[in-house]
Structure 1
Amino acid sequence: ASWCGPCRAEMPNVVAAYEKYHAKGFDIVGLSFDNKKEAWVKAIDELNMPWTHLSDLKGWETVAASTYGINAIPASLLVDPEGIIVARDLRGEALGAKLAEIFGE
């Protein structure tokens, strides 16, 4: 969410992981808990997030919160090609370490 300080602070790490592993098959779909389109779109631009972004602009009432059991942000789900969640809430170096493991580095 554009208003989430910890989310914004985590973005350089996520962008770095995306840049390193995207060509190997890693992709991101950002689901925002924003309720104001202008702020959401501005944050995407400011934080240089080149992946797909989705939001129903319902804030905490978004279907993603209940579907994936998200009650705090930042939150992340690492999903394999078969649609299985293989990790949750990887932040900082944990994301890069897990991706290195997956991609055999």
Structure 2
Amino acid sequence: MMVTDGPPPPRRPLPAGYIATTTHTAGVAHVAITGPAGDLAASGYAAELDDVFVYDRIVTAEAHRRRGLGHALMTTLATTRRSPRAQQILTATDMGAALYASLGWREYCPYTSAAIV
């Protein structure tokens, strides 16, 4: 599990041809980034409850990696957080942990699982 306490880094513009869309359903935010061909390039979810803001299922399609989409996805999801006091948490793969660390996240414990229900 990883956590962060500070504000998210500044948002960067998406590469040319990419579009981010944010939707909200039953308290869950979903960000989808589509590529120039209209395919799903990256997506993720977040939800806030009782001063905890959980990021979940953060994915960038292999063909779209190394273009800043993970950064854009995380900073866009962060804008949906209602309370600046809400603790931000996520579970990370080894590959994702490097991205999150570059955004100011730190390891809280070596393993956990979480679900948004």
Alignment TM-score > 0.5, same fold: no
The structure with higher relative contact order (CA 8 Å, sep 6+) is: 2
**TM-score, structure 2 normalization:** 0.28
**TM-score, structure 1 normalization:** 0.30
Q: Which has the higher strand share?
A: 2
